[in-house]
Structure 1
Amino acid sequence: MQNKKDSQILDRGPFYHGTKADLKIGDFLSAGFNSNYRSEIIMNHIYFTALPNGAGLAAALAEGNGYDHIYIVEPTGAFENDSNVTDKKFPGNPTRSYRSTEPLRIIGELTEWVRLTDEELQNWKERIAKLRENPDAEIIN
């Protein structure tokens, strides 16, 4: 799939999206929902990664009481590097994180990945709580 800005191929995937939502193959994930990190923000993009463990982290941190799911997804349109991590936090895009305003089609589900330990998950939750407490912390939407 191509970069929105310059028609350069960013990544060929496969791509993954982590969530607690219970979905089916053929369903679509789309933008327009609350952020898992700042619930008062409606997201203009849908986020995904080419790294299964990155999607696993997103699933573990997602709001909700369901099980962690990593869906194998296919972008239906152009996408770009996730500007929340690319170059802002990490040079380049080592997390292989992307975002799109176009839906992602679920084409499968990954059932095996390296899950966070309880301690790792607690550390991430504390980092997210600090982000939520800081009204000046920017989420690029």
Structure 2
Amino acid sequence: MTPDQEPTGADRLAVTYEHHDHVPGPFFHGTKAALDAGVELVPGRGSNFQQGRVSNHVYFTAVVETAVWGAELATALAGTGERGHVYVVEPLGPFEDDPNVTDKRFPGNPTQSYRTRHPLRVVRELDDWTGHDPATLAGMLDHLARLREQGLDVIED
């Protein structure tokens, strides 16, 4: 395993509110919102992924590709037709593995997805990211729609 790879399974140190300092970043957040540097993202706002739901956490990742999915899905689900935004962010408090993906969908958290009940500060916008082709994005949206129809689009928040 190289230093930039996330260990999986028993080799991996779980990221908890008490034990998160071993995760170095940089960190990213993908969203539909246009934000300025210095803005703080806080819990208690509407979810990008389930209409009418308030999120108790702010979600972020150490993988640009994961943030790109967040930006693209947020804008697609909102029906805006816009590109979305990916930001470099700084957690202002402790954080933990996102239980919605860690070991539930992706053993060992290879997406390096995290959540916090504390603010994230926007450091800057990342402009040079590449989105997915329309067919790949449509496939992901179809998959999410099927999960929703089956009642399996549960977000543990």
- What CA RMSD, in Å, does the superposition of the two structures yield over aligned residues? 1.6
SS of residue in 2 equivalent to 1:35:
coil
Q: Does 1:11 align with 2:27?
A: no
SS of residue in 2 equivalent to 1:72:
strand
Q: Could you say which residue in structure 2 is the equivalent of 1:75?
A: 91
Deviation of 1:114 after TM superposition, in Å, equals: 2.8
Structure-to-structure mapping, 1:100-115, within 5 angstroms = 100-115=116-131
Structure-to-structure mapping, 1:119-138, within 5 angstroms = 119-138=135-154
Greater alpha carbon shift after TM alignment, 12-21 vs 108-117: 108-117
Deviation of 1:138 after TM superposition, in Å, equals: 2.1
Higher alpha-carbon Rg: 2
Q: Select 1:42's aligned residue among 37, 54, 58.
A: 54
Change beyond 3 A, Cα 1:10–1:36: farther
Amino acid at match of 1:50: A
Q: Residue 37 of structure 1 contacts residue 128 of structure 1 at CA under 8 Å; is this kept in 2?
A: no
Deviation of 1:91 after TM superposition, in Å, equals: 1.2
In the aligned structure 1, how far is the partner of 2:125 from the partner of 2:152? 36
Provide, for residues 30-84 of structure 1, a one-character-per-residue CA deviation record: whole Å limited to 9, x for no partner. 1112222221321110000011111011000004424311010000000000000
How many residue pairs get aligned? The number is 139
Change beyond 3 A, Cα 1:54–1:61: same
Deviation of 1:8 after TM superposition, in Å, equals: 4.2
Amino acid at match of 2:31: T
In the aligned structure 1, how far is the partner of 2:149 from the partner of 2:54? 18
TM-score, normalization: structure 2?
0.81
In the aligned structure 1, how far is the partner of 2:112 from the partner of 2:22? 9
Q: Could you say which residue in structure 2 is the equivalent of 1:89?
A: 105
SS of residue in 2 equivalent to 1:62:
helix
SS of residue in 2 equivalent to 1:44:
coil
Q: Where does structure 2 lack aligned partners over 5 or more consecutive residues?
A: 1-14
In the aligned structure 2, how far is the partner of 1:34 from the partner of 1:132? 18
State the identity %. Answer: 42
Q: Where does structure 1 lack aligned partners over 5 or more consecutive residues?
A: none
In the aligned structure 1, how far is the partner of 2:144 from the partner of 2:106? 18
